[in-house]
């Protein structure tokens, strides 16, 4: 067994480990991998930061101690892939510990990361320990930069079950510290505060904005981004959601399924473009919102807003709300016109979308414009225009949507029997609900919608907006998000 394990650490296996990490942040190729003699539990070895940021503690031949970490602490040898490492910390001035997050598959296409720490490796001097820690941090979390990356965090203590601030301090901050990130934390003091912060914060020199809360906190911050005089620059700053709310859809859609997975993603800083939907309400007073997730009306809006008082249940409140809504069998009147993505070349905007009440056109007028057509329904039970596939951590309502497709998935159903409602819920769990004949769906780049019924809500990214006519348009890749 000892022989089998020691082969893990041959030069050949190190070479192949390097080759498999070529897509990862790399350090200056001019610099040689750093190796220092170190001891772990009395076992002599060599601690080495590989050129791609990976880490190996190889045990000296003849010491009799070999193996790898998953086999137990009695084995000092360790080999870590660069993509798993988040950073390192000095311990007792001359030792260091490597922090890493190996991935674990939950189901196809979904994996989470668990936080692990290496044993303490004793170096011969404090300078050596500090050097190896800085080297690991730079390769793991700063994209090879000489200086730590700077993160601004907006923590909403009221989101979800009210544990955001505690979870951030306990789970996330230690990972950021190990990564050597410079983190400036702002805690929201009242509803709407995230908008003020994102609007007013000095973002110069900042590498990412992270929200610790739910989608409402992201939505608020997004409105702040677009209120800034320098918004064209600000929207290039990537943001991320560290899931601590009820729905946490942005986290789901970026693969940040839990706090450790999200913190790891922030440390790695891998960015992707994100489509943004601008939503204009021309009257009574013209106003504009910016949406990253969804516009819902009818059943989903009612189950979301109608269960606000059940916030203590966490994400379960949505399941409860869905059950209740299916039993009610309610439907709502709607007037809408859409510009299908397939017709987008014909016209990218409605006759006039400049935003003043005088210029706003009715749904009927718009649906006669080139490329536009009516929704095909004037009464719906479920209506959702989705910019992203997941509406929360579990419900993948719009499998065809994506971060940067340039289109929203408009989905609607007529009034259903209870059996049909529960069947759809079941099929949604399997991800096959779009195959049901009664589920109408279309990819659209713009939409005009009039919420005719007043006994439900118009909900944008989980937040209620005035129940007035809206014009929505997709802006491809306008913002950037951090992805796992």
Binding site for ligand ATP (CB under 6 A): 156-160, 188-193, 213-217, 220, 245-248, 462
Give me the least distance between CB of 245 and ligand ATP, in Å please.
2
Question: What letter does residue 396 receive in the DSSP assignment?
Answer: B
- Closest CB to ligand ATP among 142 and 292? 292
Question: Could you tell me the smallest distance in angstroms from the CB atom of residue 388 to ligand ATP?
Answer: 13
Q: Is the peptide bond before 284 cis (omega within 30 degrees of 0)?
A: yes
Task: Name the DSSP letter for residue 309.
Answer: G
Of the pair 53, 160, the CB lying nearest ligand ATP is at 160
Vertex 342: Cα angle to 341 and 343 (nearest 5): 90
- Measured from the CB of residue 302, what is the shortest distance to ligand ATP in angstroms? 15
| C-beta separation of 187 from 212 below 8 A | no
Nearer to ligand ATP, 27 or 211 (CB): 211
Least Cβ distance, residue 182 to ligand ATP (angstroms)? 24
Shortest Cβ 195–ligand ATP spacing (Å): 9
In whole angstroms, how close is the CB of 214 to ligand ATP at the nearest point? Answer: 2
Q: CA-to-CA distance for 115 and 86, rounded, in angstroms?
A: 9
Torsion of CA 266, 271, 275, 281, to 10 degrees: 40
Min dist. Cβ of residue 418 to ligand ATP (A): 26
Give me the least distance between CB of 187 and ligand ATP, in Å please: 7
Q: Answer positive or negative: Cα dihedral of 246, 252, 254, 259.
A: positive
Helix and strand numbers, DSSP H then E, in the chain: 14, 26
Tokens found for residue 229: 């005089």
d(CA 5, CA 75): 10
Query: Is the Cβ of residue 54 or residue 247 nearer to ligand ATP in the bound state?
Result: 247
Give the whole-angstrom CA distance, residue 243 versus residue 234: 22
Of the pair 119, 245, the CB lying nearest ligand ATP is at 245
What is the rounded CA–CA span in Å between residue 179 and residue 147? 12
Q: How far is the CB of 399 from ligand ATP (least distance, A)?
A: 20
CB closer to ligand ATP, 45 vs 216: 216
Calpha distance 170→164 (Å, rounded): 10
83 versus 156: smaller Cβ distance to ligand ATP: 156
Least distance between ligand ATP and beta carbon 176 (Å):
20
- Report the nearest approach of ligand ATP to the CB of residue 217 (Å): 4
Residues with Cβ within 8 Å of residue 43, at least 6 apart in sequence: 59, 60, 63, 65, 76
Picking from 483, 95, 39, the residue whose alpha carbon sits closest to that of residue 266 is 483
The residue behind tokens 């993948």 is 396
Looking at beta carbons only, is 53 or 243 nearer to ligand ATP?
243
- Between 135 and 193, CB nearer to ligand ATP: 193
Query: How distant is the alpha carbon of residue 45 from its chain centre?
Result: 39
Q: How far is the CB of 308 from ligand ATP (least distance, A)?
A: 8
Helix (H, G, I), strand (E, B) or coil at 475: strand
SS3 112: strand
Q: What is the DSSP string of 414-431?
A: ----HHHHHHHHHHHHHT
Q: In sequence order, what are the residues at sequence separation of 6 or more whose Cβ sits closer than 8 angstroms to the Cβ of residue 145?
A: 138
Pick between residue 142 and residue 290 the one whose CB is nearest to ligand ATP: 290
List, in sequence order, every beta strand (DSSP E) within 304-343: 332-340
Give the residue with the Cβ less far from ligand ATP, 248 or 261.
Answer: 248
- Min dist. Cβ of residue 421 to ligand ATP (A): 22
Cβ closer to ligand ATP: 66 or 156? 156
**Cα–Cα distance, 447 to 437 (Å, whole number):** 23
- Candidates 271, 214, 206, 267; CA nearest to 242 is 214
Closer to ligand ATP by CB, 180 or 321: give it: 321
245 in Cβ contact with 271 (< 8 Å): no
Tokens representing 393? 């951590």
Strand locations in 292-439 (E): 294-298, 332-340, 373-374, 379-380, 382-386, 408-413
């Amino acid at each position: 067994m000892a022989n089998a394990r020691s082969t893990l650490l041959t030069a050949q296996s190190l070479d192949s480990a390097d080759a498999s990490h070529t897509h990862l942040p790399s350090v200056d190729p001019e610099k040689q991998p750093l190796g220092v003699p170190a001891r772990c539990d009395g076992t002599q070895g060599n601690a080495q930061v590989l050129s791609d940021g990976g880490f190996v503690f190889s045990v000296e031949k003849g010491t009799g101690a070999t193996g790898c970490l998953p086999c137990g602490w009695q084995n000092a040898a360790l080999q870590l892939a660069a993509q798993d490492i988040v950073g390192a910390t000095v311990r007792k001035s001359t030792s260091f510990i490597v922090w890493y997050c190996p991935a674990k598959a939950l189901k196809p296409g979904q994996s989470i990361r668990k936080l692990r720490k290496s044993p303490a490796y004793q170096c011969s001097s404090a300078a050596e320990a500090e050097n190896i820690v800085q080297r690991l941090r730079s390769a793991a979390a700063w994209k090879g930069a000489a200086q730590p990356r700077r993160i601004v965090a907006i923590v909403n203590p009221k989101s979800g079950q009210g544990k955001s601030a505690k979870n951030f301090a306990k789970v996330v901050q230690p990972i950021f510290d190990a990564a050597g990130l410079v983190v400036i934390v702002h805690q929201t003091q009242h509803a709407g505060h995230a908008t003020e912060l994102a609007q007013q914060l000095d973002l110069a020199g900042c590498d990412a904005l992270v929200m610790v809360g739910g989608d409402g906190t992201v939505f608020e911050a997004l409105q702040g981004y677009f209120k800034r005089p320098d918004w064209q620059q600000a929207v290039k700053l990537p943001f991320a959601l560290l899931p601590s709310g009820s729905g946490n859809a942005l986290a789901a859609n970026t693969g940040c399924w839990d706090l450790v997975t999200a913190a790891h993603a922030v440390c790695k800083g891998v960015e992707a473009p994100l489509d943004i939907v601008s939503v204009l309400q021309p009257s009574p007073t013209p106003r504009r919102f910016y949406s990253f997730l969804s516009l819902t009306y009818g059943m989903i809006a009612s189950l979301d807003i109608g269960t606000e008082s059940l916030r203590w249940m966490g994400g379960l409140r949505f399941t409860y709300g869905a059950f209740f809504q299916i039993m009610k069998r309610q439907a709502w009147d709607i007037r809408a016109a859409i510009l299908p993505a397939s017709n987008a070349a014909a016209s990218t905007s409605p006759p006039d979308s400049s935003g003043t009440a005088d210029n706003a056109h009715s749904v009927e007028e718009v649906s006669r414009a080139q490329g536009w057509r009516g929704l095909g329904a004037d009464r719906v039970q479920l209506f959702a225009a989705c910019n992203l596939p997941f509406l929360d951590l579990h419900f993948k309502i719009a499998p065809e949507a994506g971060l940067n497709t340039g289109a929203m998935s408009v989905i609607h159903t007529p009034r259903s029997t209870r059996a049909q409602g529960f069947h759809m819920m079941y099929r949604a769990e399997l991800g096959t609900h779009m195959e049901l004949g009664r589920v109408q769906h279309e990819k659209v780049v713009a939409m005009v919608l009039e919420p005719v019924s007043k006994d439900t809500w118009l909900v944008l990214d989980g937040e209620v907006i005035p129940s007035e006519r809206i014009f929505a348009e997709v802006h491809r890749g306008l913002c950037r998000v951090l992805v796992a």
